[in-house]
């Protein structure tokens, strides 16, 4: 088991944000965290990323406690967060620079694999939103960490680009099979991408339900119109709707 969180609790001032969260990510597994806005998803990422430590409970990565240790996960934020003064390839190797020598050959190979070879010397301002997110994903991938944490990476994209990016992500991931923890507030996105989904309640967040997604891989876009996809989507929708109702 790659990542394991046991009975995590976290409060800020007097507000409890996370309440008894236990979850795990297996080696090579794609796990989605689905929850309403403001349910403490970013706090959870801050804990895994070592930006803060939990009040109670333990976070284990490869059986080691990682509280407050940064740089142990590959991270892809909601905003692409590319450095505007670095070219695409210089952005891709940024994380490698932090821990050692950057490997430009490997970066070039990856850019070629995702069809961005013509843009390796371009600056981020020249790229479209989807291209920027691809660069951000490759950067996370090349950080050489076994766990990739993706924080609503496609939420700022338009509908068509988002579906393209989801398919793209699946195709890259299916060849690569790194563990991914994917935060999203889109039910469809979670169902289309993940092996397993944790549904979070509103604040203070607990895990309301763990859903195993039964669809076989590789997944095609046609899955989005399949009957069983629709039924599961309806089920998740009802679960989440209860959460939002209670808050009113």
Partner 1 sequence: MKWVREKGGAIFLLLFILCSWELLVKVNEVPGWLLPAPIAVFSEAIKVIPSFSTDIFSTIQLALLGLTIGSLVGFIIAVLLHMMPFVQKMVYPLLILSQNIPIIVLAPLLIIWFGFGLMPKLIIIGLVCFFPIVVAALDGFKNTASELKYYMEMAGASKSQLFWKLELPHSLPSLFSGLKISATYSVMGAVISEWLGAKQGIGVFMTLSQSSFRTDRVFVAIFTIMLLSILIFGLLRMVERIVIKGKMER
Residues that bind partner 1 (CB under 8 A): 49-51, 70-73, 75, 77, 79, 81, 83-87, 94-95, 97-99, 123-125, 143
Which is closer to partner 1, CB of 86 or CB of 167? 86
In the complex, the smallest distance separating the C-beta of residue 103 from partner 1, rounded to whole angstroms, is: 16
Bridge partner residues of 182 (DSSP): 32, 150
In the complex, the smallest distance separating the C-beta of residue 149 from partner 1, rounded to whole angstroms, is: 8
Which is closer to partner 1, CB of 40 or CB of 124? 124
In the complex, the smallest distance separating the C-beta of residue 70 from partner 1, rounded to whole angstroms, is: 4
- Strands (E) across 39-82 are located at 56-61, 64-65, 74-76
Which is closer to partner 1, CB of 94 or CB of 163? 94
In the complex, the smallest distance separating the C-beta of residue 234 from partner 1, rounded to whole angstroms, is: 35
Cis peptide before 218 (omega within 30 of 0): yes
Which is closer to partner 1, CB of 28 or CB of 50? 50
Which is closer to partner 1, CB of 94 or CB of 172? 94
The four Cα atoms 142, 147, 148, 151 give a dihedral, to 10 degrees, of -150
Which is closer to partner 1, CB of 136 or CB of 191? 136
R_g over Cα of the chain: 18
- The SS3 call for residue 129 is helix
In the complex, the smallest distance separating the C-beta of residue 181 from partner 1, rounded to whole angstroms, is: 13
In the complex, the smallest distance separating the C-beta of residue 24 from partner 1, rounded to whole angstroms, is: 21
> Is the backbone of residue 33 left (phi > 0), alpha (psi -120 to 50) or beta?
beta
- Return phi, psi of residue 62, to 5°: 50, 45
Cis peptide before 214 (omega within 30 of 0): no
Least Cα distance to 242 among 43, 20, 37, 36 occurs for 36
Which is closer to partner 1, CB of 73 or CB of 199? 73
In the complex, the smallest distance separating the C-beta of residue 139 from partner 1, rounded to whole angstroms, is: 9
Question: DSSP letter at 51?
Answer: S
């Amino acid at each position: 088991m790659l990542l394991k969180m046991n009975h995590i609790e976290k409060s800020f001032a007097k507000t409890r944000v996370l309440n008894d969260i236990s979850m795990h990510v297996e080696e090579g597994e794609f796990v989605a965290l689905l929850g309403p806005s403001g349910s403490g998803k970013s706090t959870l990422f801050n804990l895994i990323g070592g930006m803060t430590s939990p009040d109670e409970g333990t976070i284990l990565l490869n059986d080691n406690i990682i509280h407050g240790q940064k740089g142990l996960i590959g991270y892809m934020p909601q905003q692409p967060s590319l450095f505007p003064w670095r070219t695409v390839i210089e952005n891709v190797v940024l994380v490698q620079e932090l821990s050692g020598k950057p490997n430009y050959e490997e970066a070039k190979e990856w850019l070629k694999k995702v069809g961005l070879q013509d843009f390796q010397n371009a600056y981020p301002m020249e790229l479209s939103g989807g291209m920027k997110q691809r660069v951000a994903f490759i950067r996370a991938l090349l950080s050489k960490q076994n766990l990739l944490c993706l924080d609503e990476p496609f939420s700022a994209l338009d509908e068509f680009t988002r579906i393209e990016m989801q398919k793209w992500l699946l195709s890259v991931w299916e060849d690569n099979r790194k563990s991914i923890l994917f935060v999203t507030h889109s039910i469809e996105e979670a169902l289309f991408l993940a092996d397993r989904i944790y549904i979070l309640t509103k604040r203070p967040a607990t895990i309301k339900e763990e859903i195993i997604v039964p669809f076989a891989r590789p997944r095609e876009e046609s899955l989005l119109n399949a009957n069983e996809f629709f039924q599961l989507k309806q089920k998740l929708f009802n679960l989440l709707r209860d959460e939002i109702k209670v808050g009113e």
